[in-house]
Amino acid sequence: MKFIPRRTALAALGAVATTLLAGPVAAQQVVTLRLHQMLPPQATIPAKALIPWAQKVEAESGGKIKVQLFHAMALGGAPPQLFDQARDGVVDLTWTVLGYTPGRFNKAEVFELPFMSGSAEQSSQAFQEYVEKFAADEFSSVKLIAVHTHGPGLFHTKAPVTGLESLRGMKVRGGSRIINNMLTKLGATPVGMPVPAVTEALSKGVIDGTTIPWEVTPALKVSELVKNHTTFAGDRGLYTQTFAFSMNKASYEKLPADLKKVIDNNSGLPAAAMFGRAMDEGDKAGRAIAEKAGNNIVALDAAETQRWRRTAATVETDWINEVKGKNIDGAKLAAEARALIAKYSK
């Protein structure tokens, strides 16, 4: 019998053991997904939606999925590039504002129209169902996790806005072309910019005020930079913005079936509702900070709000006429959006 040195025998046994273990170890390999977004981690959506979503996915995957979060554009680029970063596989997941890429999400824009949306949770569920039924083609280049809206839109200004006349001539930040058109109709001078630029623009006097929801004011220190906030009567805000949480298609497709199911279980209506709830809770927190600071919160009455509604109504007419040139029935889509908002508002 041929003698095998002890060291050689041990090495052979080790190799056999490694081979036997390789299958189970490979099966348990952790998938790391990189999530990129524009806001600081303490802002509402990162703190109350994206981080909890990531933790839930990690837990439900049994630790097989790890989500790395990169806040405040840490991986480079600008907010308008985020959707394409997910589409192109620069990262695996992104959250962004749809209005930052004008002319791209034409059907989705209907939710930005003046006095269309109210509660973020209700409107976000309506928006999710609307996109699934009427605008899925606009998101076909990604695996869409969810879309959502923010809560009722309002003004945050250095000088108080107490009526239509007091807005005239003010330089006001708008976050999308629909909102900028609305600002023009209302007599303001719109200044388009992504939300992370608002703090510096207010502090340097580039703008006199901004259109953002209450929820993002703490992260941007808006209640410190301006002392006036104008709200509207009724259950619909002056405007809203629309958001998408997207995943790279290839990143999703290469997941094993059990991990795809985890992603699917945390997509669609439940995810849209969760993001909307975070926005609504953030609105309460943001307003409370302004109240505690003693800021001036102007509540326009029903009659004055109706004046704004009449003046802003032509924004919807403009949008309907514009998308008609792209073979889109804007009037039908606006009616469908309102019906879905009413459905989820019951």
pLDDT digit string, tens, across residues 174-205: 999 999 999 999 999 999 999 999 999 999 99
Q: Is the pLDDT of residue 254 over 80?
A: yes
Query: Chain-wide mean pLDDT for the chain?
Result: 93
- Binned at pLDDT 50, 70 and 90, residue 163 comes out as very high
pLDDT digit string, tens, across residues 113-128: 999 999 999 999 999 9
Residues 6+ apart with CB under 8 A from 222: 156, 198, 199, 202, 210, 212, 216
Are 58 and 69 in contact by the 8 Å Cβ rule? The answer is no
Q: Is the pLDDT of residue 22 over 90?
A: no
Predicted pLDDT at 207:
98
Q: Is the pLDDT of residue 5 over 70?
A: no
- Over range 209-223, report the average pLDDT: 97
Q: Is the pLDDT of residue 14 over 50?
A: no
The SS3 call for residue 243 is strand
Cα 87 from Cα 238, distance rounded (Å): 31
Predicted pLDDT at 49:
98
Predicted pLDDT at 28:
62
Predicted pLDDT at 287:
98
Predicted pLDDT at 2:
39
Predicted pLDDT at 80:
98
- Binned at pLDDT 50, 70 and 90, residue 233 comes out as very high
Token pair of 241 as six digits: 């913005």
- Over range 227-247, report the average pLDDT: 97
Q: Is the pLDDT of residue 211 over 60?
A: yes
Residue 339: C-alpha distances to residues 117, 129, 147 (Å):
11, 11, 18
Cα 52 from Cα 182, distance rounded (Å): 35
Residue 14: C-alpha distances to residues 7, 10, 17, 21, 24 (Å):
11, 6, 5, 11, 16
Q: Is the pLDDT of residue 9 over 80?
A: no
Predicted pLDDT at 41:
97
The model's pTM is: 0.91
Q: Is the pLDDT of residue 8 over 60?
A: no
Q: What share of the chain in percent tops pLDDT 70?
A: 92
pLDDT digit string, tens, across residues 270-297: 999 999 999 999 999 999 999 999 999 9
Task: Write the DSSP symbol of residue 29.
Answer: P
DSSP line for 97-137: EGGGSTTS-TTGGGGGSTT----HHHHHHHHHHHHHHH-GG
Are 138 and 104 in contact by the 8 Å Cβ rule? The answer is yes
- Binned at pLDDT 50, 70 and 90, residue 258 comes out as very high
Q: Is the pLDDT of residue 27 over 60?
A: no
Predicted pLDDT at 105:
98
Residues 6+ apart with CB under 8 A from 320: 330, 331, 334
pLDDT digit string, tens, across residues 299-337: 999 999 999 999 999 999 999 999 999 999 999 999 999
DSSP line for 70-102: E-TTTTSS-GGGHHHHHHHTSSSEEEEEGGGST
Cα 127 from Cα 120, distance rounded (Å): 10
